[in-house]
């Protein structure tokens, strides 16, 4: 049996996971900006509406589902919320936004954007299989990172001379972000 070579392990894990790394990075970018441009939804129609809303304390799931039916929406409701004076309901194929004070709003009808929508679901999936696969992926990324530290044994680009400084900076940046903005 051949001895485990960290260089080969690093290379082979990198090759094996390259598609998933790119997919996660791509879907992560989409998820980061989903509130501003809804990358997984392709708008097909926008319709103005005006409804009478009850007090915010009376808005619940049953009310949101009933309002959806009154508005002619027959797909499954995902969630509802009141945020910054706007009542929002998200359905499978529609989004509804209504100003709490005026009752004016709109229904946006959409279809899923091919490929982008499916890749974004990587970050949303909660099946047991995907959780375990993601755990294995996370451990493999740690292995790739650690085996990468011993790839260059000596010289100005080695772990000892340069790598550890970049690693500390890489750890410090998210910690600093959490301290300042968390």
Mean pLDDT of 30-34: 75
Domain annotation covers residue 160 = no
Higher pLDDT, 171 or 19: 171
Let me know whether 48 and 89 are in one domain. yes
Domain annotation covers residue 177 = no
> What domain count does the chain have?
2
* CA terminus-to-terminus distance, the chain: 50
List strand residue ranges (DSSP E) for the chain, in order.
41-50, 77-83, 86-91, 94-99, 104-112
pLDDT band at 38 (very low <50, low <70, confident <90, very high): low
Let me know whether 108 and 128 are in one domain. no
Let me know whether 14 and 66 are in one domain. no
For the entire predicted model, the pTM comes to 0.55
User: Over the stretch 120-170, which tens digit does the pLDDT of each residue have?
Assistant: 777 777 788 988 888 898 899 999 988 888 887 888 888 888 889 988 998
Domain boundary among 81, 112, 143: 112
pLDDT band at 112 (very low <50, low <70, confident <90, very high): confident
Residue 48 is predicted with a pLDDT of 96
Q: What is the spatial order of strands in the sheet that 86-91 belongs to?
A: 41-50, 104-112, 94-99, 86-91, 77-83
Let me know whether 24 and 62 are in one domain. no
pLDDT band at 179 (very low <50, low <70, confident <90, very high): very high
Let me know whether 31 and 48 are in one domain. no
Residue 4 is predicted with a pLDDT of 67
Residue 127 is predicted with a pLDDT of 84
Instruction: Quote the domain boundaries for residue 16.
Output: 6-35+116-151
Let me know whether 104 and 47 are in one domain. yes
Average pLDDT, the chain: 86
């Amino acid at each position: 049996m051949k001895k485990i070579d960290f260089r080969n392990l690093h290379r082979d894990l990198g090759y094996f996971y390259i598609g998933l790394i790119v997919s996660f990075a791509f879907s992560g970018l989409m998820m980061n900006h989903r509130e501003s441009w809804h990358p997984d939804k392709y708008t097909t129609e926008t319709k103005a509406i005006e409804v009478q809303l009850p007090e915010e304390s009376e808005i619940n799931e049953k009310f949101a589902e009933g309002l959806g039916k009154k508005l002619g929406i027959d797909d499954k409701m995902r969630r509802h919320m009141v945020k910054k004076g706007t009542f929002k309901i998200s359905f499978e194929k529609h989004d509804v936004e209504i100003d709490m004070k005026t009752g004016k709003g709109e229904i946006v009808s959409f279809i899923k954007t091919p490929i982008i929508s499916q890749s974004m679901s990587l970050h949303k999936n909660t099946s047991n299989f995907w959780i375990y696969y993601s755990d294995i992926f996370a451990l493999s990324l740690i292995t790739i990172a650690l085996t990468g530290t011993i790839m260059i044994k000596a010289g100005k680009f080695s772990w000892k001379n340069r790598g550890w400084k970049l690693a500390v900076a890489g750890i410090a940046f998210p910690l600093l972000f959490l301290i300042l903005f968390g």
